[in-house]
């Protein structure tokens, strides 16, 4: 008797973060974000603390838009890590609850888990934190459209181009 195991399009890339998981997103590259870890239906992304990302100069707190980008990207990557075949995705809804101010002078981490995947919609829970995922400064619920564009996913295109270059 063989147990059916899910197949993941990104399964070969699971584990420690790899540059090809971020290189195709210019906005994230500009922010200096990198992927720390991926696994089945989950991803952890880092946003390095930099003075240019500060939105409140008195408290030195990172601008909320950068935190939104961190959680949106971690959520999208968790969806990609849940797919059996890469498809284009689009954020439909992203609700972020700020629980407290992020600590200044610390890298910010975003962890996301895709907890439900249907044919056309993926559902994600995420948190943003500095040191301990169990002590987040923000929590997030996201909904992503799967197969948002019938053309090849930009992510799939970037991975294929990288593979062609190394061949």
The ranges assigned to domains in the chain are 11-166
63 pLDDT higher than 50: yes
Q: Which of 107, 121, 85, 89 is nearest to 34 (CA)?
A: 107
Give the architecture-level CATH label for domain 11-166. Roll (3.10)
What pLDDT is stored for residue 72 in this prediction?
97
What pLDDT is stored for residue 159 in this prediction?
65
Count of beta carbons in the 10 Å neighbourhood of residue 16: 9
150 pLDDT higher than 80: no
What pLDDT is stored for residue 29 in this prediction?
87
Residues shown for the chain: 167
What pLDDT is stored for residue 97 in this prediction?
97
Per-residue confidence band for 153, with pLDDT thresholds at 50, 70 and 90 = low
In the chain, helix, strand, coil percent, each to 5? 25, 35, 40
Mean confidence (pLDDT) of the chain: 89
What is the C-alpha separation between 23 and 103, in angstroms, rounded? Answer: 27
1 pLDDT higher than 50: no
What pLDDT is stored for residue 5 in this prediction?
75
Query: The tokens of 134 are what?
Result: 């169990």
What pLDDT is stored for residue 143 in this prediction?
98
Question: What is the reported pTM?
Answer: 0.87
| From 61-75, 124-138, 141-155, the region with the lowest mean pLDDT | 141-155
Query: The tokens of 89 are what?
Result: 């995705």
What pLDDT is stored for residue 167 in this prediction?
64
Is the Cβ–Cβ distance between 49 and 106 less than 8 Å?
yes
Is the Cβ–Cβ distance between 44 and 110 less than 8 Å?
yes
**Of residues 136 and 163, which shows the higher confidence score?**
136
Give the H or E element holding residue 145.
Answer: strand 138-146
**Of residues 22 and 154, which shows the higher confidence score?**
22
Q: Which of 155, 165, 149, 3 is nearest to 86 (CA)?
A: 155
Per-residue confidence band for 17, with pLDDT thresholds at 50, 70 and 90 = confident
What mean pLDDT comes out for the span 24-47? 92
């Amino acid at each position: 008797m063989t147990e059916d195991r899910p197949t993941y399009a990104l399964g070969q890339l699971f584990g420690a973060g790899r540059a090809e998981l971020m290189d195709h997103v210019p906005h994230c590259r500009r922010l200096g974000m990198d992927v720390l870890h991926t696994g089945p239906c989950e991803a952890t992304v880092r946003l390095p603390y930099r003075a240019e990302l500060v939105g409140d100069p008195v408290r030195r707190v990172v601008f909320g838009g950068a935190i939104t980008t961190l959680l949106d990207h971690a959520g999208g990557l968790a969806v990609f890590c849940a797919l059996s075949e890469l498809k284009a995705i689009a954020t439909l809804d992203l609700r972020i609850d700020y629980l407290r101010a992020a600590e200044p002078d610390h890298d910010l981490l975003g962890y996301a888990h895709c907890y439900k995947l249907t044919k056309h919609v993926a559902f994600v829970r995420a948190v943003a934190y500095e040191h301990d995922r169990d002590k987040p400064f923000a929590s997030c619920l996201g909904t992503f459209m799967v197969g948002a564009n019938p053309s090849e996913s930009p992510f799939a295109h970037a991975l294929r181009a990288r593979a062609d270059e190394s061949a």
